[in-house]
Each structure stands twice: as C-alpha cells, then as structure tokens.
Structure 1
Amino acid sequence: MDNMCQVYEDEIQSLEEEIKLLTEQCEDIQQESTSYSEEEILMAIKSFQSEFQGESEGCESPSDLKAQLESLEADLSFLMKFTGIQFTSHSKKTVERTRNRTVQKHRVSGTCYSLSFQLEFQLLEMQDEEKVSSVITDLSIVMESGEDLNVSKFVSRTEEHGDLLTFFRSLSLHAEWYEHRRRTFLHFKEKYPAVVTLPEGLQGDYIVLRNPKLSEFELMVVWKIHLDEEGRTTPVLDLLTKVPEQVLEQNKGSIEDAPRRFRSLLGLFGIETAIESLIKVVGSQD
C-alpha cells in the first residue's frame, strides 16, 4: 500500500506542477492579448482539474491496482536480471504543455552490472488526430568508462542521434563483457594465487602471470573490450612477454611466436581455457 500511496503522491505532485505551468502560461497570454478573460482562464483550469479527478474516480479497485503493480514489479525484476540494468533514480519535470504538445525533462541514473551511467534528456510528445509521436532531444550521457576513447565516441554518436534503445542494448552487452572479464580474473586469481597477479585490480584490463622461482620471466594477458560507434562490443585479447635476454637468445623463435599461438588457442578453445593453459605453463617452469 505504501507503493500505491507513493504513486498517488507522485501523480498529485505532477498535477500541481502542470497546473502551475498552465497558470503561468495563462498569465503570459493575458498580458500579451485581451482575447481571454480571467473568468475564461479560471474555467479552463477547473475543467482540467475536473478531467483529472474524473479519471481518478474511474480507476480500478485498490486490490486490482495492487495486483497490476505486483505483476509490473515481477516483469521489471526479470528485465533487470536479464539485461543487468538497474535504475537507481529518476525524476521528471514538465517544462511545456499545450493542447497537442508536451515537453518533459528527465534525469535517470543507474547501473548495468558493474558500470554506472547517468542520463538527462527532454521527451517531446506531439499528438495529432491519428497518433501520438515521441522524440528525444538534448540527450546527455555520462558513462563510467575511464579514458576509453571508443566508449566516448559511442556516447557522442548516441547523444547526436538521441537513440536510447541502442544505448541500453549496447550498454547491456558491453557491461556483461566487463562483468565476465572481472569474474574470470577473480577466478584465476583465487585458483592460482602464486602465479596470477592483478596490478590494476579486478577492474583492470590485464593480468600478469609470473612463476615465483623465475621472477624475471612473466606473461601479460591483455583483455580489451572494444565498443564501436555503432554499439557493437568485441573482446580483444593479446599476449605480451617479458623474458630475460639470456632466455630470449636461447628460445627466441618460440617466445616470439607465443602471441600467435595464444590467439590460436583462443580460436580453438575459448578465453578461459586459453588463459588457464598459459597459467599452467608458467606455473610449471623451474
């Protein structure tokens, strides 16, 4: 019932804002033109209030509303688990309202797996005799991405086109890869603590493999998550080596060929198996 009360309170607050806006618009009209009398303006406001009250009285019973609310909450919970997207706050403000045009300003923040985001945009709704159309304008996105130039380009393109559907679809997949990488790094760190180190923590994009007995020899597995301007996410992995000169001279061919072999392992067995194969090789060196 608390949720239902909150819904009604939000509607009342929204109505109050709309009445205030309508009153201001009427005052402006009155100052600029003598076409509308004060009595006509007050009648228009009362008509608007009566219309809203009539809609409220025609609502379904509290039990039906509660059942619908529970169903919506269940659907929302499923979508959050499926996409990883969870909204933490949302506010809206009506900045313009006419008979066939409404402009609302929205602010939204949330998380997608371990990545956070903030959105601000205006929603323009226009109604004619046949349909209602909506257009997003003035879209601004703040997305946790560090200094990732690819993410910045994607965000800029999304802001330019006002395409929120593509943004959330791409964000879900992109953040899912981040989460997959984080869990993979954590798994290998816990399973092979003597060999695996994470210089930048779980949010970093590489791990270092080092045998404690051969500290000068190490392999670095770099795991980038590329996001292009169209919103497509691609994992990009590579292998870097750090080998003492004496060892390099003796095994130059095999060491220089290690990155190519690692990429072959990725294609044949997948990311986890390829990385674990390297860990076992490094850990077995004497």
Structure 2
Amino acid sequence: MDESSFQAYEDEIQALEEEIRLLTEQYEDIQQEESTFFSNEEILESMKSFQDETEGHESLSDLKAQLESLERELSFLTAVTGFHFTSHSKKTVEKTKNGTVKKHRLSGKCYSLSFQLEFQLLETPNSEKVSAVVSDLSIIMDSREDSNVSKFVSSTEERGDLPTFFRGISTYAKWHEHRRCTFLHFKAKYPDIVTLPEGLLGDFIILRSPKVSGFELMIVWKIHLDEEGTTTPVLDLLPKIPEQVVEQRMTTVESIPGCFRSLLRLFGIEAAIENLIQVLDSEK
C-alpha cells in the first residue's frame, strides 16, 4: 500500500472518530437536559392507565365527551384561580427503593403576575398512597420588588410550602386584577376627572375637580400580602385643596378622608370612588 492510500484511510478513520465523539456529546447533553421526556417505565404506566380508563367506553364519541368535560373543568379552574401554566419540565435526580427524587421546573401566570418555580419532590410510596415532600424550592417573580411579596416568597421558599404559595399568589393577583379593572372602568367613564399617573398597574389614582382649579383627591390603593399568604387591600385618601377652598370650608375639607373611609366600610370600593367623583363633579 502506497503512502497516499494509507493517508486516505487515516483521514477517514479520524473523521469517523470525530463524528463518534460529536454524537456521544450530543447524547450526553440530551441525557442531562431537563425536559418533559419520560422514562420507559413512566410511558408504560401511563399507557396502562389510559387503557384501564378507556376499557369501559363504547365509542370514540364517549372519549370526545370526556375530553370536552375535562377541558371545561380546566377552564373553570383557570377562571377561579387565575392560574395559567405555560411550561413544565421534570427529571429524575435519584431513585432508590425508599423513594424517587424528581426535579421540577414550572412557569406560568396568575392573572397579570408571572412566576417561575424550581423544586425537588421526594415521592415515597407506602401501602395506601404516595407521599411527597418538597425541598430546594426557588421562586422567581416580577413583583418581588414589592417588599411584602419578597418577604412572602422568602418565607415560602424556606418552608417549601407550595400550597401556601399558590393560595397566597392567587388571592394577591386577583386583587391586582380587580384594582386594574376598577381603575380602567373609572378612567373610561370619567376621562376628564380621573387621571392615572402610573398607568393601570399603579397603586393610586387622582380625581381632579372639573370646576375648582387645583382641587384634587388622591386615592391610594395598596395591596398587602403577609408571610402566611393573607391578602389585605389598604385604601386611603389624600386631598390636595387650594388655600381659598380650605379657608372657606375648613370643616368640610378636614372631614373628607374620614368620610371616604366610612363609605368604604358601608358601600365598598367602587361605590365609594363613584360617590367622590359625583361630589367633585357637582362641586362649585
């Protein structure tokens, strides 16, 4: 064999070795990737479960009706809780005779609030059911800049308390959505009176009198979330009133914040704001 032929074989062998190396790296990356791929055992178990559930169905129409029913239930739960999950991935970290540890990643939105979760779940089978213990919980939220939310998230992470997280965020986000819709309603209904300096996602609105220059009422609407997941709306009124009006109606001016708090207790948020706007509109 001449030298050129030998070199050709050598080049081909090196090319094949390089290709094998690349394929090996790709395979290892796939094995390490956190994805929604399931193991063979999980696939077989899911198929068996599906077969068991469908044995009693007589036709495809029955399966379609069941699917539609499940979709309605999911839509109902989304409407009630506000949660919409956009992605979920998991991988098995450890598997022993005592249990299985799986790492989960979950992301979604609750109304307008986005979140990402990462945690490990230890599943331990027993004679009656599978118990699960959460550990290494990590939560990322856009609204964590709010000190109340930050404390709540930190407390939930330390305890690995997923139920409290979902319950607390659902109520907190629902109040945020309620505030946004309320601001939008009054801005659309009274565009000449209502101003939103920080937009619909801000925590206050300003009511400007169309008849008395410089007469403004700022309604501050905070949403407090404690470490146990309890949400409390906190509203107050800050008046900005011209000196001449103050001099003429000192007693009336001083009573405005107290009257607003009384309206809140008696009639609720929307009715209290509506009443203030009506008073401003009729003020001379």
Question: TM-score by structure 2 length?
Answer: 0.77
Deviates more, 1:96-105 or 1:262-271: 96-105
Larger radius of gyration: 2
Q: Report deviation, 1:52.
A: 6.7
Q: Give 2:94's aligned residue.
A: 96
Q: Report deviation, 1:112.
A: 1.1
Flag structure 1 segments of 5+ consecutive residues without an equivalent.
1-10, 17-48
Give the 3 Å change call, closer, same or farther, for CA 147–283 of structure 1 in structure 2: farther
CA distance in 1, matches of 2:278, 2:237: 15
Q: Report deviation, 1:68.
A: 5.2
Q: Report deviation, 1:59.
A: 4.9
CA distance in 1, matches of 2:191, 2:149: 32
Q: Give 1:154's aligned residue.
A: 152
Please, which of 108, 111, 117 is the counterpart of residue 106 of structure 2?
A: 108
| Contact 1:111–1:117 (CA under 8 A) maintained in structure 2 | yes
Say whether residues 1:81 and 2:79 are aligned partners.
Answer: yes
Q: Give 1:246's aligned residue.
A: 244
Q: Report deviation, 1:74.
A: 3.0
Q: Give 1:177's aligned residue.
A: 175
Q: Give 2:163's aligned residue.
A: 165
Summarize deviations over 1:148-196 as a string: whole Å, max 9, x none. 2111111111111111111111211111111111111111111111000
Aligned with 1:230: secondary structure?
coil
Q: Report deviation, 1:212.
A: 3.6
Flag structure 2 segments of 5+ consecutive residues without an equivalent.
1-34
Question: TM-score by structure 1 length?
Answer: 0.77
Question: Share of identical aligned residues, percent?
Answer: 65
Q: Report deviation, 1:100.
A: 2.4
Aligned residues: 243
Say whether residues 1:117 and 2:115 are aligned partners.
Answer: yes
Please, which of 9, 16, 39 is the counterpart of residue 15 of structure 1?
A: 39
Summarize deviations over 1:260-282 as a string: whole Å, max 9, x none. 11101111111111101111111
Q: Report deviation, 1:127.
A: 2.8
| Contact 2:36–2:91 (CA under 8 A) maintained in structure 1 | no
Q: Give 1:279's aligned residue.
A: 277
AA partner of residue 218 (structure 1)? E
Deviates more, 1:254-263 or 1:194-203: 254-263
RMSD: 2.6
AA partner of residue 38 (structure 2)? S
AA partner of residue 100 (structure 2)? T
Please, which of 255, 263, 267 is the counterpart of residue 265 of structure 2?
A: 267
Summarize deviations over 1:115-150 as a string: whole Å, max 9, x none. 111111111112345653210001111223253211
Aligned with 1:145: secondary structure?
helix
Give the 3 Å change call, closer, same or farther, for CA 58–104 of structure 1 in structure 2: closer
Q: Report deviation, 1:113.
A: 1.3
